[in-house]
């Protein structure tokens, strides 16, 4: 398959000024009639090239006349029309089969209802079109269907007409007054009910809010509705963005490739990100739903009103919208807790991507299949890039820049460069060097060293930046990096900062702008040797190296005035200790728990002035994938053993304190109504963490404690907290609790996914057999992406010990499933292949096994572009 390059971008030669669509819905044979008002945008004759996939063209006329056959060329994925008048009307009818659409892209059937997914290139699976984001069009959509089977018929914009038709059929007409690209088109038809509410915008307009679900889920929509209303208000208050249609609809569907889709006025959601009741969804689910609802809502401005010129600009909307949803969540509860979660995600998922064969810039230069570029880099690193701009220009400057961006580009399809230019123009700043963040892949490294000179009372920090080579980019130019720092005295107070050349010291922290490979920062009037607090709040997506002693890390854990960095010091300390233990295990020695770490850890546990959510974060050890990132050759077994050893050793050493905190938080779950606030969530988090440490000890009474919690739980967080803790305690209690859960929830697919995931990630012996058994479970289906993620995705991405079993059995299982899945749903199959892509990080034997699997995949006949791109890049 051929790659598409950013440098080949050319604007479309035709504009579709208006499109009228008429859908005659039928699961096996849907007819799509389209009328396109076309206008040529260039002066000389130019062919009109429309895209299409798996379409049957039934008829075509131009200005009511059939085309001369010599002027019409159709191949598998394109329709070319020659010698068209500069302005004309093109009418077509196409036939499609939604029920045969297992790829879940275009128009498909889920749970007996029709729905669409058009981003990135799904619209071409519905009808022939200029299926590219810079082709913005006014849409009018008529839908006709059987009234009994499909009482609800939805599309974008406002409802303008509806009525009955002969033979039990009915119709609706929707008109969207905002021009949009085809990827934002949506249609939903089915037997759905809706929860309805209202929102009054800042200018006093009334908006009708509706969440459509299957009838049995109507009692799980309250949280999503509240989230939508909060997001709408927040975007007005924070960024001055008002909603623009009279209606905003969300539809929950069970079969969905990703999280949700921001179609204009008609968001389609994976039901996982809508449905929640305290007894069916965990606190993490509630928070995730709030953030995805917000994310899709925020797209109405950052994505829909201002969209992307081409798919290389994807981060223009995704990086910016992730940044906006992160800020929204940070404003809902504790900012530092949100930041910690985001940084953990970035470091455990994006950093590895940026260091592997799939590494690509935030604005990629080329792709084979765009669906493979909805990545952690485009989304999460893209959000970090936006965050750095805010750090550089300040919050007010950022708001000015965003206002200018929306004002300048409303109704346009633009580039990341346009975004940066608005920030520059609104703030009179030159961000030329900063733009390299969009073009250069790889995670920069900052090597920092400090030296105190008592005689001159000065402290000298030297900072060197570098960036490892990535595919196609062997040399990197220096990045523009905001480094937020403070110097702490021995009491933990921030020392006022006076840099060389400055006449006055300023209190508090500073943002230092690094633009060169090397910087020397000399601070004066420093009364004692300070402990530097560097990269506060994770001010840039880089790897920081500073030779802290264990004593300094323990000091920062207790004293840093930056919440994020206090957590970070604990993580660094834990990483250093775990690395030592990994070496010991590899050398056949007994690992040891560092007493200094234990003390610092215990002090955090005992600190009742800290927010409980923050304490829970601080007491969570770095994850196995993050630890793997720190190793030259990944040793999954030693990593797992070291981490388990430390959990157990801490559990044993501090058992009485864990138990005391656990008991003190016993009555904290609260009663329904007040149990979903951030404080209650923080308490549950800490309490479940204590339980997990207690269960990690292997102590006899621990499983009963977990079982008692499981049985008494009135909420899914505590039920799952108990079950998860029990996964460390094989035996009768674990078995009967798992069996109870399965019996109770087997008819709630989203809840059962938790049960699938827990077992697919269990590290005890027999994991592979268990995964095979789970795939035979009557509720498992390879056609449902949530099920695939819960079983196969969880196994491949979150069960390193068994996925990387030395005999290659884990790789074999995943490879076979990838190939089976590829024929049905290439997008989901491609996601699964990424688990094999970092084969070079492992020992020779595993490398050989993984490479063989990748070669088998690439050689498979009829392979999709999606899987081919990931597998072949991984091998290359
Ligand atoms: N903009 C959407 C990205 C998307 C997607 C969503 C559902 C299924 C397939 C999809 N392909 C691309 C989601 C978002 O970022 O908001
Ligand atoms: Zn998005």
Whether residue 374 has its Cβ less than 6 Å from ligand 1: yes
**pLDDT tens string 188-222:** 999 999 999 999 999 999 999 999 999 999 999 99
Q: Given CA atoms 234, 239, 240, 242 in this order, what sign does their dihedral have?
A: negative
Whether residue 375 has its Cβ less than 6 Å from ligand 1: no
CA distance 752 to 178: 40
| DSSP per position, 298-335 | HTTTBTTTBEESSGGGHHHHHHHHHHHHHHHHHHHS-H
Whether residue 295 has its Cβ less than 6 Å from ligand 1: yes
Distance 350 CA to ligand 1 centre (A): 18
| DSSP per position, 145-189 | EETTT--EEEESSEEEEEEEETTTEEEEEEEEEEEE-GGG--EEE
Residue matched to tokens 């009963």: 704
* 766: alpha, beta or left? (left if phi > 0; alpha if psi -120 to 50): left
Which residue's CA lies nearest to atom 1 of ligand 1? 261
Query: What is the pLDDT confidence band of residue 666, given thresholds at 50, 70 and 90?
Result: confident
CA distance 756 to 777: 10
CA distance 181 to 139: 9
Confidence (pLDDT) at 667: 64
**pLDDT tens string 126-170:** 999 999 999 999 999 999 999 999 999 999 999 999 999 999 999
Catalytic residue among 53, 262, 296, 707: 296
For ligand 1, pick from 118, 131, 183, 260 the residue to mutate: most ligand atoms within 8 Å of CB: 260
- 296: annotated active-site residue: yes
Which residue's CA lies nearest to atom 14 of ligand 1? 261
Locate the ligand 1 atom nearest the alpha carbon of residue 105 and give its number.
9
Confidence (pLDDT) at 88: 98
Whether residue 398 has its Cβ less than 6 Å from ligand 1: no
Whether residue 262 has its Cβ less than 6 Å from ligand 1: yes
Q: Is a pLDDT exceeding 70 seen at residue 706? A: yes
Distance 264 CA to ligand 2 centre (A): 13
Nearest ligand to the C-alpha of residue 322?
Answer: 2
From residue 564, give the alpha-carbon distance in Å to each of 431, 538, 684.
27, 8, 21
- The ipTM estimated for the assembled molecules is 0.97
Q: What is the CA radius of gyration of the chain?
A: 28
Whether residue 258 has its Cβ less than 6 Å from ligand 1: yes
Q: Given CA atoms 763, 643, 691, 337 in this order, what sign does their dihedral have?
A: negative
Distance 25 CA to ligand 2 centre (A): 29
Residue matched to tokens 């990944």: 634
Q: Which tokens sit at 544? A: 């920081």
Distance 204 CA to ligand 2 centre (A): 28
CA distance 730 to 743: 19
Distance 321 CA to ligand 2 centre (A): 6
**pLDDT tens string 433-491:** 999 999 999 999 999 999 999 999 999 999 999 999 999 999 999 999 999 999 999 99
Task: Calculate the average pLDDT of the chain.
Answer: 97
**pLDDT tens string 585-620:** 999 999 999 999 999 999 999 998 999 999 999 999
CA distance 825 to 108: 12
Q: What is the pTM of this model?
A: 0.98
Q: Is a pLDDT exceeding 70 seen at residue 570? A: yes
């Amino acid at each position: 398959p051929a790659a598409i390059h950013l440098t080949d971008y050319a604007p479309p030669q035709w504009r579709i000024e208006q499109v009228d669509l008429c859908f005659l819905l039928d699961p096996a044979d849907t007819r799509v009639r389209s009328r396109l008002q076309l206008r040529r945008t260039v002066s000389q004759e130019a062919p009109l090239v429309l895209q299409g996939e798996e379409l049957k063209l039934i008829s075509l006329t131009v200005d009511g006349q059939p085309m001369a056959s010599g002027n019409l060329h159709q191949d598998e994925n394109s329709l070319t029309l020659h010698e068209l008048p500069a302005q004309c009307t093109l009418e077509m009818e196409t036939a499609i089969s939604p029920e045969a659409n297992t790829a879940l892209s275009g128009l498909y059937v889920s749970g007996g209802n029709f729905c669409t997914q058009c981003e990135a290139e799904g619209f071409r699976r519905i009808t022939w079109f200029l299926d590219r984001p810079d082709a913005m069009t006014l849409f009018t959509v008529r839908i006709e269907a059987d009234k009994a089977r499909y009482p609800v018929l939805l599309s974008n914009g406002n409802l303008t007409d509806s009525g009955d038709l002969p033979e039990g059929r009915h119709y609706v007409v929707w008109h969207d007054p905002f021009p949009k690209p085809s990827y934002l088109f949506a249609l939903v038809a089915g037997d759905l009910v809706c929860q309805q509410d209202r929102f009054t915008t800042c200018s006093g307009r009334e908006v009708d809010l509706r969440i459509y679900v299957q009838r049995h889920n109507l009692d799980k929509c309250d949280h999503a509705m509240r989230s939508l209303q909060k997001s709408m208000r927040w975007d007005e208050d924070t960024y001055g963005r008002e909603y623009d249609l009279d209606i905003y609809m969300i539809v929950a569907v069970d079969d969905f490739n990703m999280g949700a889709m921001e179609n204009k006025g008609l968001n389609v959601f994976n039901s996982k990100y809508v449905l929640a009741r305290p007894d069916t969804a965990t606190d993490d689910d509630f928070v995730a739903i709030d953030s995805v609802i917000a994310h899709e809502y925020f797209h109405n401005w950052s994505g829909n009103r201002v969209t992307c010129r081409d798919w290389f600009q994807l981060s223009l909307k995704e990086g910016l919208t992730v940044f906006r949803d992160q800020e929204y969540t940070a404003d809902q509860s504790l900012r530092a807790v949100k930041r910690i979660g985001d940084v953990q995600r970035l470091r455990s998922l994006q950093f590895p991507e940026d260091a592997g064969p799939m590494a690509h810039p935030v604005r990629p230069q080329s792709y084979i299949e765009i669906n493979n570029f909805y990545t952690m880099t485009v989304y999460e690193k893209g959000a970090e890039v936006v965050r750095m701009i805010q750090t550089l220009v300040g919050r007010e400057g950022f708001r000015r820049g965003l206002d200018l961006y929306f004002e300048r580009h409303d109704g346009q399809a633009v580039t990341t460069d346009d975004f940066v230019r608005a920030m520059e123009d609104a703030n009179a700043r030159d961000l030329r060097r900063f733009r390299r963040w969009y073009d250069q892949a790889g995670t920069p490294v900052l090597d920092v060293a400090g030296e105190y000179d008592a005689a001159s009372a000065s402290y000298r920090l030297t900072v060197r930046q570098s960036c490892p080579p990535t595919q196609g980019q062997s040399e990197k130019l220096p990045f523009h990096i905001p480094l937020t720092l403070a110097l702490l005295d021995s009491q933990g107070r921030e020392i006022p900062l006076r840099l060389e050349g400055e006449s006055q010291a300023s209190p508090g922290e500073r943002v230092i702008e690094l633009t060169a490979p090397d910087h020397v920062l000399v601070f004066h009037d420093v009364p004692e040797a300070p402990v530097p607090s560097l990269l506060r709040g994770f001010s840039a997506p880089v790897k920081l190296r500073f030779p802290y002693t264990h004593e300094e890390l323990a000091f920062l854990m207790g004293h840093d005035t930056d919440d994020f960095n206090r957590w970070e010091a604990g993580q660094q300390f834990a990483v250093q200790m775990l690395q030592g233990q990994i070496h010991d295990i590899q050398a056949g020695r007994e690992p040891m728990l560092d007493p200094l770490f234990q003390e610092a850890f215990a002090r955090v546990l005992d600190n009742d002035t800290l927010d409980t959510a923050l304490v829970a974060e601080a007491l969570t050890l770095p994850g196995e994938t993050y630890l793997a990132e720190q190793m030259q050759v990944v040793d999954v077994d030693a990593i797992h053993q070291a981490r388990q050893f430390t959990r157990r050793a801490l559990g044993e050493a501090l058992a009485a304190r864990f138990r005391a905190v656990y008991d003190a938080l016993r009555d904290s779950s609260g009663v329904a109504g007040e149990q979903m606030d951030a404080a209650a969530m923080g308490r549950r988090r800490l309490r479940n963490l204590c339980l997990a440490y207690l269960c990690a000890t292997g102590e006899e009474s621990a499983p009963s404690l977990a079982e008692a919690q499981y049985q008494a739980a009135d909420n899914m967080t505590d039920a799952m907290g108990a079950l998860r803790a029990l996964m460390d305690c094989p035996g009768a209690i674990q078995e009967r609790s798992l069996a109870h859960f399965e019996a109770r929830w087997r008819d709630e697919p989203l809840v059962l996914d938790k049960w699938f995931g827990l077992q697919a990630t269990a590290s005890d012996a027999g994991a592979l057999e268990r995964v095979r058994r789970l795939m035979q479970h009557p509720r498992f289906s390879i056609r449902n992406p949530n099920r695939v993620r819960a079983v196969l995705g969880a196994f491949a991405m979150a069960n390193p010990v068994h996925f990387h079993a030395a005999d290659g059995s884990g790789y074999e299982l995943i490879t076979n499933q990838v190939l089976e899945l590829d024929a049905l749903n290439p997008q989901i199959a491609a996601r699964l292949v990424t688990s094999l892509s970092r084969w070079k990080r492992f020992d020779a034997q595993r490398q050989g096994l993984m490479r063989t699997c990748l070669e088998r995949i690439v050689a498979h006949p009829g392979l999709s572009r999606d899987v081919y791109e990931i597998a072949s890049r991984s091998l290359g």
